[in-house]
């Protein structure tokens, strides 16, 4: 080989190659250090609420997607249940599963995004309460016009203030 460029390419000193496990361990460490607290926005796709209580879904932005997991211990703090097709903002950390070479977001916070997001979350909570029967007319009690009994360790000062402000 007369060309020095080709000579250096083909006569490179021997290097020990990494095993797949070693490479994945390096990738995992780098990703989890770099992306320990991130916000990502996207559309929920393939949402599954597992019997274990965990939520699994993908976030999609039209040209790419990433897997997400929201553990049962985190779900109870989230005020709405995601559905396919809604746009959400996710806060979490990147996790790399070396056995399969897969990247996912471990969700720590989830909120609806876009126009009408708060309204959608409100309607979802309202529907849940209606299913429990909490808005049933037979459960409603009339509110008293004025409190008849007043209990306090300092009842005299409260009466004086009440009488003074009412007159």
Residue range(s) defining the domain that contains residue 112 = 39-133
In three-state form (DSSP H/G/I as H, E/B as E, the rest C), the secondary structure along the chain is CCCHHHHHHHCCCCCCCCCHHHHHHHHHHHHHHHCCCEEEEEEEEEEEECCCCCEEEEEECCCCEEEEEECHHHHCCCCCCCCCCCEEEEEEEEEEECCCCEEEEEEEEEEECCCCHHHHHHHHHHHHHHHCCCCCHHHCCCCCCCCCCCCCCCHHHHHHHHHHHHC
| 77 domain-assigned | yes
User: Which pLDDT value is given to residue 66?
Assistant: 96
| 88 domain-assigned | yes
CATH number of 104's domain:
2.40.50.140
| 90 domain-assigned | yes
User: How many domains does the structure of the chain reveal?
Assistant: 1
User: Which pLDDT value is given to residue 72?
Assistant: 94
User: Which pLDDT value is given to residue 147?
Assistant: 63
The model's pTM is 0.61
Mean pLDDT by 10 residues, the chain (167 residues): 56 75 89 92 94 95 93 90 90 92 94 71 85 84 70 64 57
Q: Which two tokens stand for residue 6?
A: 């080709």
| 144 domain-assigned | no
| 20 domain-assigned | no
């Amino acid at each position: 080989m007369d060309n020095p460029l080709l000579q250096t390419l083909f006569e490179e000193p021997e290097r020990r190659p990494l095993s797949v496990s070693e490479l994945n361990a390096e990738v995992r460490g780098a990703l989890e250090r770099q992306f320990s607290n991130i916000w990502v926005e996207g559309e929920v796709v393939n949402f599954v609420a597992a019997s274990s209580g965990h939520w699994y879904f993908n976030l999609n932005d039209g040209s790419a997607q990433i897997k997400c997991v929201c553990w049962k211990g985190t779900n109870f703090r989230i005020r709405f249940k995601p559905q396919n097709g809604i746009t959400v903002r996710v806060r979490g950390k990147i996790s790399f599963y070396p056995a399969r070479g897969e990247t996912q977001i471990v969700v720590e916070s989830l909120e609806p995004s876009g126009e009408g997001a708060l309204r959608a979350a409100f309607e979802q909570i309202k529907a849940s309460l209606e299913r429990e029967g909490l808005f049933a007319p037979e459960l409603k009690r009339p509110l008293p016009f004025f409190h008849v009994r007043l209990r306090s360790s300092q009842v005299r000062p409260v009466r004086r203030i009440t009488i003074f402000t009412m007159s």
